[in-house]
Structure 1
Amino acid sequence: MTHFKKREIWQDMVTKLTVILIYAFLYSLALNIFWQPGNIYAGGLTGIAQILATVFAKNQIALPISIIYYLLNVPMFILAWFKINRKFVLYTILCVSAASFAIHIVPSTTLTTDPIICAIFGGAINGFSLGLALKYGLSTGGMDALIITIRQMTGRSIGVISIILNGIIVLIAGYLFGWPYAFYSVLSIFVSGKVTDLVYVKHKKVQVTIITQKPNEVIPALQEKLSRGITIIPHALGAYNQETQTILILIITTYEMEILDQIMKEVDPKAFVSVTQDIKILSQFEELDIV
């Protein structure tokens, strides 16, 4: 491994760890300063942890929400270890560990108990932190592995599965603690999702043009890790040195850009790669669950 490659890996690791710390801090602010004081129940494992913590507290059992949240994630770690990329899972464990620690040490401060304010600001802060983590190729844990597994078993879309699971959590919270808070919780989940989309445009499509002299190595790598259709233009002639090149054209999402970058650095770092954004797709384009 070259010195440049080692330095690049180190910089990527430092960047990811920095983003993890920022995410954990913002997430703890959303939970401890807005959601908890306003009795707002988030979606996913966070909402389940909140419900369990409230039930335990009513039964005089002091179990911090940070511990409940971490314990709920442990089965997801195991599931993801076998269903998803293992390096990805290790970063997920770091994310969840940092978030749990931040929840535990950041004091619960009541700025307001207005449920609308708590729902909107809690959702916005959480959405920003989640979008930031996803933008840098990180997973924040939760039910991602479970949702992907259910999708593989049932063929349902991730959006439908997520809505159903979060809907069940909100209904349970409403039944146990009051229906008004269930509606406020829905508002917070909606705001969180919208802000996440603003920060991290996962489903935005881009057109990638690759000019390479190693098509026999590049094409199999792209097909294996991206599973996208590729248009091949062979025997293209470079005007500068008159060398024969192969042009590859494919459409991917911004979510897959990091994977593409990694592939090209490993297979053909000398290839010319251009990316065109803001394209419009008229035919069918399948969203893939790549993590």
Structure 2
Amino acid sequence: MNKRTSGAYSPLQRKPVRILSIVAGGLLAAVGLELFLIPHKLIPGGITGLSALFSHMTEMRLGLFLFLFNLPFILLSRKQISLQFALYTMLGLLCLTAGSLALHSYPAVAGEPLTAAIAGGLCLGLGIGISIRFGGITGSAGDPGYLLLKGGPPKYAETAIMLFNCAILLCGGFLFGWDQAMYSIIAYLLAFEGVRISLRDLSRSRAVWITSRRCEEISKALKESLEREAKLVQASGPAGQPGTLFCLASRLEEEKLTSIVRQYDKDSQIVFRGASGRDPGDLFRKNIS
């Protein structure tokens, strides 16, 4: 079991590391597209695949459609995400777009479609996953892994996403041939797996213990901002002794949770416990989740 207090530093909390990681993720995804997949007419599915189809039919740059088709998702989700997260997301999208435009004139690295599908799919998936893990999103609802942040899309959306991706792959088959369509499926599956590898353990719940003199205000703020129920383990004492709160949060929510708690009590103590085997949070999971 891992234990970490909010005072410890991690890559997810260092802005320079986060920015460099988002940039690297966006550029890696662009490499997968422009140097492996697109030269062999392989369509990875999702908004990226839709952008590739429009790029082929209009003979315009892929990067232009990547930006135009992904931007509405960022704008529509602005009310659900913080400004900082939106800026990181925009940075990831800009890096993917700029990387695609810059690499468009370079020749394909792989000569065989199968090699291109494997290498391109992995580069695309790992690039998207790295960008997501460090706070930016280079994909959208149709791209592999975008909705893996909190365990996948809602059940009612799974069918729509599957049909959307099937339609993209079918269109690619009609335009480029069914051999290319089979290679595109391989690229899509590997991209999906690449995202899963990058996001491993990121959305797993972690136990959070908060010691503060303002437990009631913090509990209410966590419910309103993160939709997280916080259980009062020990109430504050009459002489000003701090109380203790317990809740569950994913690693994606750690930074925002810490910021919320610090707004109400700068002297509070926050302890995160990673799940390994039996976690103390399992005792409260039924009551909170």
- TM-score, normalised by the number of residues in structure 1: 0.77
Q: Note the alpha carbon deviations across 1:42-65, whole angstroms, 9 max, x for none.
A: 122211111112223xxxxx3111
| Matched-pair contact (CA < 8 Å) for 2:222–2:229 | no
Query: Which one-letter code corresponds to 1:199 in the other structure?
Result: S
| Structure 2 CA distance for partners of 1:157 and 1:286, relative to 1, 3 Å | farther
Relative to structure 1, the CA distance from residue 285 to residue 78 in structure 2 (aligned partners, 3 Å threshold; closer, same or farther) is farther
Kindly report which structure 2 residues correspond to 1:45-124, keeping only aligned pairs within 5 A, or say none: 45-56=47-58, 62-82=59-79, 84-106=81-103, 107-124=105-122
> Separation in 1 of the partners of 2:236 and 2:263?
23
2:250 aligned partner: 253
Contact 2:207 2:272 in 1 (8 A): yes
Read off the aligned partner of 2:244 and give its amino acid letter.
I
Once the two structures are overlaid, the 10-residue window that deviates more, 214-223 or 91-100, is 91-100
* Matched-pair contact (CA < 8 Å) for 1:222–1:260: yes
Any gaps of 5 or more consecutive residues in structure 1?
1-10, 57-61, 149-153
Partner of 1:270: 267
- Counterpart of 2:203, as a letter, is H
Residue-by-residue CA offset, 1:209-244 (whole Å, 9 max, x unaligned): 11111112211111112212222123377xxxx962
C-alpha RMSD of matched pairs (Å)? 3.1
Q: Partners of 1:47 and 1:132 in 2: how far apart?
A: 20
Q: Indicate the residue corresponding to 1:218 in structure 2.
A: 218
Task: Report the residue type matching 1:191 in the other structure.
Answer: L
Q: Distance in 1 between matches of 2:158 and 2:251?
A: 18
* 1:86-105 C-alpha deviation (Å, 9 max, x unpaired): 44333323322222111111
Q: 1:255 to 1:166 in 2, by over 3 A?
A: farther
* 2:89–2:135 CA contact under 8 A, matched in 1: no
- SS of corresponding position for 1:244: coil
Q: Give the C-alpha shift of residue 193 in structure 1.
A: 2.0
The match for 2:33 is: 31
- Structure 1: which amino acid aligns with 2:134? Y
Q: Distance in 2 between matches of 1:249 and 1:274?
A: 10
**Number of equivalent positions:** 262
Give unmatched runs, 5+ long, in structure 2: 1-12, 148-152
Cα distance in 2 between the residues matched to 1:127 and 1:213 = 44
Q: Out of 111, 127, 131, which is 1:129 matched to?
A: 127
Deviations 1:150-175 (A, max 9, x none): xxxx9645555433332322222123
Alpha-carbon separation, structure 2, partners of 1:83 and 1:278: 27
Cross-structure match for 2:138: 140
Distance 1:269 1:174, change over 3 A: farther
Report the alpha carbon displacement of residue 180 of structure 1 after superposing the two structures with TM. Answer: 2.6
Q: Percent identity of the aligned residues?
A: 21
Cα shift readout 1:251-277 (whole Å, capped 9, x = no counterpart) = 222222232122223332322211221
CA contact (8 A) 1:24 1:102 kept: yes
1:187 matched residue in structure 2: 186
Aligned to 1:203: 203
AA in 2 matched with 1:27: A
Rounded Cα–Cα distance in structure 1 between residues aligned with 2:156 and 2:260: 27
CA contact (8 A) 1:92 1:141 kept: no
Corresponding residue of 1:163:
162
User: Retained in 2: the 8 A contact 1:137–1:258?
Assistant: no
Contact 2:207–2:273 (Cα < 8 Å) also in 1: yes
Q: Separation in 2 of the partners of 1:181 and 1:286?
A: 48
Partners of 2:229 and 2:288 within 8 A in 1: no
The residue number in structure 1 matching 2:241 is 244
SS at 2:40's partner residue?
A: coil
Q: CA deviation at 1:130?
A: 1.5
The equivalent of 2:10 in structure 1 is none
